[in-house]
Amino acid sequence: MQYPEQKKELINGIPSNYLCNIHSVPCAGVAFPAHFHNYIEVLYGLEGQFHVLLNGKYHFFAKGDLILINSREVHHINALSESGGSYIVLRFEPEVIYNNMFQNYSELKYTIPFLIDSPNQQKVITKDLLNNTNIPELLWDILKEMEEQCYGFELAVRNHIGRIFLWILRYFHANSSNSIFQFNEYELYLKRLQPALDYVPNNYMNEIKTPDMASLCNMSSSYFSRLFNKVMNMNFNDYINHIRLKEAEKLLVSTELNITEISNQVGFNTTSYFIKLFKQNKGTSPKQYQKEYLHDYESNDKPI
C-alpha cells in the first residue's frame, strides 16, 4: 500500500529542518492519517489518550508520555478519549543531529537506530521515566523559541534537540535488553564506506563519479550504490549535491561571488542545474535566498 509522503514544511518561505507545535483534536477518532516523512518525530502527550500505529503495531501514549517515530517510518495516530486531546509535536531532519552530514562513522553510527526499521526499538518512554528529567522542559522551551523567534532562536532549538536526542540515545543504550545498538553489521558498512565519506567533503568542487568511489571502497558500482543508499538513507549523487548545496549556502551569505561563480566553485556543471536543485531543496532561488539573508542581517544589525 502506498502512503503519502509529507514534504518539508516552509518557514518564511524556506523549507525547515525542524518544526515544533501543539496538535489538538476535539474528539475521538483519527488525529492524523497514515503518512511518512524524512523527519525524525517526537510526540509528547499533554491531554487525552492516543494510539500510534507503527509497523503494524499499536503503541499507547497519554499525558506525560513520549513516543519516538523514526525517519520515513509510516505512522497513523488515533485519539482514544471522547474529548480528544493534545500533544507536542517535534520534528527534525536527521542532519540536525549529525551536523551537516558529518563523515565519521564513529559519530554517524549514533543516528542509525533512528533511520532504520528495528522491531526491537522501544517506541514509548513513559511519564514515570521522564518525571526526573529535563525532557519536558526542553520540549516546552523549543516550542517557545519557535513561537517567539527571538534573535538566535535557531541555535537554541538545535541545542535543545541535541540534548533530547542524547538523552534518548543514552536511555536506549542503558535500558534496551535486545539492544538496537548491537548493529555491528551497520558499523561494518560505515567503515567500508568511509573512504568515500572522507573524499567527498574535500573534493566536492571536482567531478566525482560513482564508479571511482566504488573502486576507492573496493566494491562494485552496483553494490556501492545499494549499500550507500541503505546506510545513508539517500543515494550517492544526492549526497554529493547535499554537500555542494551546503557549501553554496555559505558562499551566498559570506562572499560577493555571483550565482554562476558560486555554482562553478562548488562543482555544479551548469548554473541552471544548480538553481533548479537549490529551489527544490530551499523553496527559493539562490539569488532570493541571498537577498533574504542580507535583509534579515541588515534588519538585525540596526541600532536599538
Check whether 101 has a pLDDT greater than 70.
no
Name the grid cell of 168: 534518548
Architecture of the domain delimited by 239-304? Orthogonal Bundle (1.10)
Query: Looking at per-residue confidence, does 263 or 300 come out higher?
Result: 263
- Alpha helices for 55-122 (secondary structure H): 94-97, 105-108
Q: How far is CA 104 from CA 50, 107, 187, 248, in A?
A: 38, 6, 11, 22
Report CA torsion sign: 148, 143, 284, 254: positive
Highest mean pLDDT, choosing among 90-94, 117-121, 141-145 = 141-145
Distance CA 228, CA 234 (A): 7
Q: Which of 145-154, 188-197, 295-304 has the highest mean pLDDT?
A: 145-154
Taking residues 7-35, what's their average pLDDT? 85
pLDDT of residue 72: 79
Instruction: Please tell me which residue, 16 or 264, carries the higher pLDDT value.
Output: 264
Q: Cα separation of 61 and 78, whole Å?
A: 10
Give residue 178's pLDDT band: very low, low, confident or very high (50, 70, 90). Answer: very low
Encode burial over 185-223: b for 16+ CB neighbours within 10 A, e otherwise.
ebbebbebbbebbebbeeebeeebebeebbeebebeeee
The region that residue 148 occupies, defined by phi over 0 for left and psi between -120 and 50 for alpha, beta otherwise, is: alpha
* Mean pLDDT for the stretch of residues 277-300: 74
Domain extents for the chain?
10-175, 183-233, 239-304
Per the model's pLDDT, the better-predicted residue between 138 and 113 turns out to be 138
d(CA 148, CA 81): 31
Mean pLDDT of the chain: 84
> How far, rounded to the nearest angstrom, does the alpha carbon of residue 170 sit from its chain's CA centroid?
19
Provide the pLDDT confidence category of residue 113 given band limits of 50, 70 and 90. Answer: low
pLDDT tens sequence across 33-63 = 888 888 889 999 999 999 998 877 889 999 9
The predicted-structure confidence for 204-257, as pLDDT tens digits, reads as follows: 999 999 999 999 999 999 999 998 888 777 889 988 998 898 889 888 888 888
pTM of the model: 0.69
Burial of 76 (0-12, 13-18, 19+ CB in 10 A): middle
**Under 8 Å between Cβ of 214 and 144:** no
The answer, yes or no, to whether residue 301 has pLDDT greater than 80, is no
pLDDT band at 302 (very low <50, low <70, confident <90, very high): very low
Question: At 133, phi and psi to the nearest 5?
Answer: -115, 170
pLDDT of residue 304: 40
* Residue 198 pLDDT class (50, 70, 90 cuts): confident
pLDDT band at 275 (very low <50, low <70, confident <90, very high): very high
Please tell me what DSSP assigns to residue 113.
Answer: G
pLDDT attached to residue 249: 85
Query: d(Cα 303, Cα 300) in Å, to the nearest integer?
Result: 8
Q: How does pLDDT run across 60-99, given as a tens digit for each residue?
A: 999 999 999 988 788 899 999 999 999 999 999 887 876 5
Evaluate whether 69 touches 52 at the Cβ level (below 8 Å): yes
Which class is domain 10-175? Answer: mainly beta
Under DSSP, is residue 242 helix (H, G, I), strand (E, B) or coil?
A: helix
Residue 152 CB coordination number (10 Å): 10
Query: What residues are paired with 68 via a beta bridge?
Result: 42
